[in-house]
Amino acid sequence: VLEQQPFITLLTDYGLVDEFVGILHGVIASICPQARVIDLTHGVPRRDIVAGGAILAQNIRYMPVGIHVAVVDPKVGGTRRAVALKVADGRVLVGPDNGLMWGAAQVCGGIEAAVELSSSPWRLQPTSSTFHGRDIFVPVASHLATGQPFEQAGEPLDPAQLVVLERPPSRREGETVVAPVLRFDHFGNVQLAALLDELTVPFGTRIRINLPSGDTATAQLVNTFDDVVDGAALLFEDATQRLALALNQGSAERRYNLKAGDEVRITPVDA
């Protein structure tokens, strides 16, 4: 699937203030000048493997098939493995073996082969202890983009040994959907690990939300933000088809003091 202009995508928690992302682009251009690079995001909350993994898994289908680098790597320089994963739909994922890429690999049909990269012949040397994006992950991705064989990237690794990161599922309890908080966007919208279909009520229904703090809130299930007044709470189907809790023109994350992994209980008020 690697034609003349292979695609490399990048997802990191590096932010865009420092020069780290620019360096990744320079390393790619130096090794594989014909590669096209897409910055999926560099705004993953720092060291948040769960959020980074969710962003990658939810959106990889919008990326062209290519080499997909993901770096949220709090244990960089330690004993965690560095890996490249060949998945069933023809993509290759490159990053730390800490679960970050697990969800995306499942979305892409599962892992067909894995290699460990710590001693990859393609790594930059000297290899720093703190910037494996520059020294290992991106050089490996760039060499793969030139068409070099996957097996030559490093040592073979049994996929059964990879770190697994399963996201907590939602569940039904009578009329109530119990949904873990998955992540936040920078508007403070709260994405839940539940789908619209799990709430078997029509748009317009008022919903009681029991928060982990013991407090209760009321929100309306609606199609768009514009369906409620400013400051009002709403539940809507977000762009990834998941239920999300929001305040029109405000931050539900702050108002309800939620963090990832918290469970909220969602009950139609008429139930």
Check binding of 55 to a second copy (CB under 8 A): yes
d(CA 165, CA 167): 6
Figure out which of the listed residues 29, 88, 269, 271 binds a second copy, where binding follows CB under 8 A: 29
CB of 214 to a second copy, least distance (A): 29
79 Cβ partners below 8 Å, 6+ apart? none
Are β-strands 216-221 and 171-173 bridged in parallel, bridged antiparallel, or unpaired? unpaired
Neighbour tally for 28: CB within 10 Å: 22
Measured from the CB atom, the residue of 9 and 170 that comes closer to a second copy is 9
Alpha helices in the chain (DSSP H): 20-31, 49-59, 102-107, 132, 138-145, 252-256
Check binding of 30 to a second copy (CB under 8 A): yes
CB of 144 to a second copy, least distance (A): 18
d(CA 161, CA 47): 22
User: Which segment (7-15, 148-156, 161-169, 210-218) binds a second copy by CB under 8 A?
Assistant: 7-15
Check binding of 43 to a second copy (CB under 8 A): yes
Measured from the CB atom, the residue of 152 and 224 that comes closer to a second copy is 224
CB of 114 to a second copy, least distance (A): 23
User: Which segment (21-29, 112-120, 153-161, 173-181) binds a second copy by CB under 8 A?
Assistant: 21-29
Check binding of 7 to a second copy (CB under 8 A): yes
* C-alpha atoms less than 13 angstroms from C-alpha of 152 in its C-beta half-sphere: 11
d(CA 95, CA 72): 8
Check binding of 90 to a second copy (CB under 8 A): no
Cα 49 to Cα 44, 46, 74, 216: the distances in Å are 9, 9, 9, 30
Burial class, 112, CB count within 10 angstroms (exposed 0-12 / middle 13-18 / buried 19+)? middle
Residues 170-189 that bind a second copy (CB under 8 A): 185-186
Query: What is the phi-psi region of residue 47: left when phi exceeds 0, alpha when psi lies from -120 to 50, beta otherwise?
Result: left
Measured from the CB atom, the residue of 236 and 256 that comes closer to a second copy is 236
How many helical (H) and strand (E) elements, i.e. helices and strands, does the chain have? Answer: 6, 15
User: Which segment (73-81, 98-106, 140-148, 174-182) binds a second copy by CB under 8 A?
Assistant: 73-81
CB of 236 to a second copy, least distance (A): 7
207 to 246: interface string for a second copy, x by CB under 8 A? ----------------xxxx---------xxxx-x-----
**Residue ranges that bind a second copy, judged by CB under 8 A:** 5, 7, 9, 11, 15-19, 21-23, 25-27, 29-30, 33, 36, 38-43, 55, 59, 62-64, 74-78, 126, 128-131, 134-135, 185-186, 223-226, 236-239, 241
